[in-house]
């Protein structure tokens, strides 16, 4: 049985999580700096004032979450994933019920689903790693580390 070292596994997990954060921050920056143009490219029509406000809000959310994820890649991963999956679900629902918003909502949902997938992969990589003594990295600092099953 091969055992990953805690440092290497968590470093790889953090790198993957930071990648998701960078992608989210870049998408948020694009929405904040050129939201109406992004909408036009996606939809072929100019956004309404309400659409523009929603794009700015979502851009700010993506940018904020992305920067937090870059700064603290292993903290709040469940929250990052939950927020992104909730966002994706709401966008796919909007795409299903609103023909006018179908394309922008689908693109927004796919972007949120992509960042959730990257963060989930980082979380799983971190969770499946074990230290040389058979403990998980998250448990290494606790007083009663849990043994990994099968070790």
Examine the pLDDT at 145 and tell me if it is beyond 90: no
Q: Which residues of 114-144 are buried (b: 16+ CB within 10 A; e: fewer)?
A: bbbebbbebbebbeebbbeeebbbeeeeeee
Provide the 10 A C-beta neighbour count for residue 71: 10
Q: What pTM, to 2 d.p., does this model score? A: 0.73
How much is the pLDDT for 132? Answer: 53
How much is the pLDDT for 127? Answer: 66
How much is the pLDDT for 143? Answer: 52
Q: What is the pLDDT of residues 28-52, one digit of tens each?
A: 999 999 999 999 999 999 999 999 9
Closest CA to 16 of 63, 66, 68, 73: 73
How much is the pLDDT for 4? Answer: 43
Q: How far is CA 132 from CA 70, 75, 90, 139, 146, in A?
A: 27, 23, 42, 13, 13
């Amino acid at each position: 049985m091969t055992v990953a070292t805690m440092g290497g596994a968590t470093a790889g997990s953090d790198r993957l999580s930071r990648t998701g954060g960078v992608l989210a921050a870049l998408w948020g920056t694009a929405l904040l700096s050129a939201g109406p143009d992004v909408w036009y490219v996606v939809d072929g029509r100019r956004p309404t004032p309400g659409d523009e406000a929603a794009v700015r809000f979502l851009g700010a959310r993506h940018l904020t979450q992305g920067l937090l994820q870059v700064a603290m890649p292993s903290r709040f991963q469940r929250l990052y994933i939950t927020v992104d999956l909730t966002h994706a679900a709401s966008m796919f629902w909007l795409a299903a019920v609103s023909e006018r918003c179908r394309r922008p909502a689908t693109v927004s949902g796919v972007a949120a689903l992509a960042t959730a997938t990257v963060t989930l992969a980082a979380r799983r990589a971190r969770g499946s790693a074990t230290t040389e003594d058979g403990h998980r990295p998250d448990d290494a600092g606790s007083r009663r580390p849990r043994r990994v099953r099968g070790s």
